[in-house]
Amino acid sequence: MSHMTAELMKWSLSLAAGCGIGAIFFGGLWWTVRKCMTASLPALWIIGSFLLRMGIALSGFYVVAFGDWTRWVACLTGFILARLVVTRLTRNPSSASSADRQLACPAQEASHAP
């Protein structure tokens, strides 16, 4: 296996690991917010979740990057991509932006002049 292929494999694995770390981090955030709505001690859930999620994320970045800034960047890119995916999957349909609503459901013609 050539050097370039080995590096590409390391970057690809770092990107995939970043996606996994991001899915855990942002999926855990989504779960925590939903849990806090019914919890008797929501602050405890928020603080505990934050510490756990940050510990997992920072440890994951440290292990994946292993001192190589290019793998760190690939991992961070995967983390950000996971944020976009989790945000899209967990979005409440009623909270879509006005531009999204207009695309999905064009405005009705006004029945009166302004």
CA angle 67, 69, 70 (to 5 degrees): 125
More confident residue, 73 or 108: 73
Say if residue 100's pLDDT is above 70: no
Determine the pLDDT at residue 91.
Answer: 87
Mean pLDDT within 72-80:
96
Mean pLDDT within 82-102:
76
pTM of the model: 0.76
CA angle 78, 81, 85 (to 5 degrees): 135
Q: Could you tell me the pLDDT band of residue 6, with boundaries at 50, 70 and 90?
A: confident
Q: Could you tell me the pLDDT band of residue 31, with boundaries at 50, 70 and 90?
A: very high
Say if residue 95's pLDDT is above 80: no
If you count them, how many residues does the chain have?
Answer: 114
Say if residue 80's pLDDT is above 90: yes
